Amino acid sequence: MVQQHSRVVARGKYIHGFEIHRVKPSAVDEYKKAAEGYYASIKDDPELHVKLTGSWETVVGEQDTFFHILEYENYSGYDKTTAKIRTSEYYNAYKKMAPYLNSRSLQLSQEFAFFPTAPPHTEGGIFELRCYQLKPGTLLEWEQTWRRGIEARRKFVEPVGAWFSQVGRLHQVYHLWQYPDLKARKETREKAWQLDGWAETVAKTAHFSKFMDAYILQPLPYSPLK
């Protein structure tokens, strides 16, 4: 049932890898330098067939945590790209991050069809990554609820992207938003509550979710989305 639902709601064109690095607090600066040496280089190599959607540092939420989102040409593209990296000089660049990490995780996700990822842009401000752990079997209802709710909210803010997990921690949904600052975020969210049907969208969100997190992120200098 979950697989059938994922086929219904997915855009299906790309796979996005969520690489989450939890860094030693004393080594954040060294990690940033090593991360730029790796991610900024692979995004500019056309032979790898991978795009860096963005790289961010958490400023509110789980501290010393970095998110890197990579776009692959579906699962076969992920296999080919990662195989090339392991046998190239990029793998040595990747390993330079290891001494500065407490832990790392990788999750493969797909885009929601109604919520394609924004192209690279430089608008400034902050990003908000909202993570929802869904109850198993609620993905299709979630998508239907948010597809209706998002269209109304677009009057105030354009979404940056939305994904649901396929490999790794399952039944997770991510929404990524961009605001000029935290004050603008607060004002935008208050306006959304005045929209017809928004309260119902939020109520159903709570019903479908086991728990939720909101992270405020700052883009790193080489991030295509910033």
pLDDT, one tens digit per residue, over 25-77 is 999 999 999 999 999 999 989 999 999 999 999 999 999 999 999 999 999 99
Position with higher pLDDT, 192 vs 104: 104
CB-based burial label for 50 (10 Å; 0-12, 13-18, 19+)? buried
Q: How far apart are CA 136 and CA 87, in angstroms?
A: 38
pLDDT in tens, 175-226: 999 999 999 999 988 888 888 877 888 888 889 999 999 999 999 999 999 9
Q: What is the mean pLDDT of residues 106-128?
A: 94
Which whole-number Å values give the CA distances from 2 to 43, 97, 106, 122, 175, in the listed order?
32, 35, 21, 36, 20
